[in-house]
C-alpha cells in the first residue's frame, strides 16, 4: 500500500468515527488550522500593540483624523439639494 493510500485510509476511518464524510473531515481540519493561525496572529498583534502603544501615541497623537476644519459644514454629496 502506497503512503498516500495508507494516509487516505486513516483519514477515512477518522472521518467515519466522527460521523463525517472525508470531505467534511478535511474541511474541519482546515478550519481548525485557520482558527489556530488566526488566534496566533491576534495574540501577536495584541502583544505588539501593548508594547508599542506609547510610542505610537507620542508619534501621531490620539486623534489622527480630527475631521474638517472649524466652521466648515459637514455635508456629504447626498445632502445637497
- Crossing angle of helices 3-17 and 22-60, rounded to 10°: 90
pLDDT for the residue 65: 64
pLDDT for the residue 27: 97
pTM (2 d.p.): 0.53
pLDDT band at 1 (very low <50, low <70, confident <90, very high): low
For residue 46, what is its C-alpha cell?
495584541
pLDDT for the residue 66: 64
**What integer is the mean pLDDT of 6-29?**
96
- 4-12, long-range: CB within 8 Å, 24+ apart, which pairs? none
pLDDT for the residue 55: 87
* 21-61 confidence digits (pLDDT tens): 999 999 999 999 999 999 999 999 999 999 998 888 888 77
Can you tell me the distance from the alpha carbon of 36 to that of 68, in angstroms, rounded to the nearest whole number?
42
Can you tell me the distance from the alpha carbon of 81 to that of 70, in angstroms, rounded to the nearest whole number?
23
pLDDT for the residue 58: 83
Amino acid at each position: 500500500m502506497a503512503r498516500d493510500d495508507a494516509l487516505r485510509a486513516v483519514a477515512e476511518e477518522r472521518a467515519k468515527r466522527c460521523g463525517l464524510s472525508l470531505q467534511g473531515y478535511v474541511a474541519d481540519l482546515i478550519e481548525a488550522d485557520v482558527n489556530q493561525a488566526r488566534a496566533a496572529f491576534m495574540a501577536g498583534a495584541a502583544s505588539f500593540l501593548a508594547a508599542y502603544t506609547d510610542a505610537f501615541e507620542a508619534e501621531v497623537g490620539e486623534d489622527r483624523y480630527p475631521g474638517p476644519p472649524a466652521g466648515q459644514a459637514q455635508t456629504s454629496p447626498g445632502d445637497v439639494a
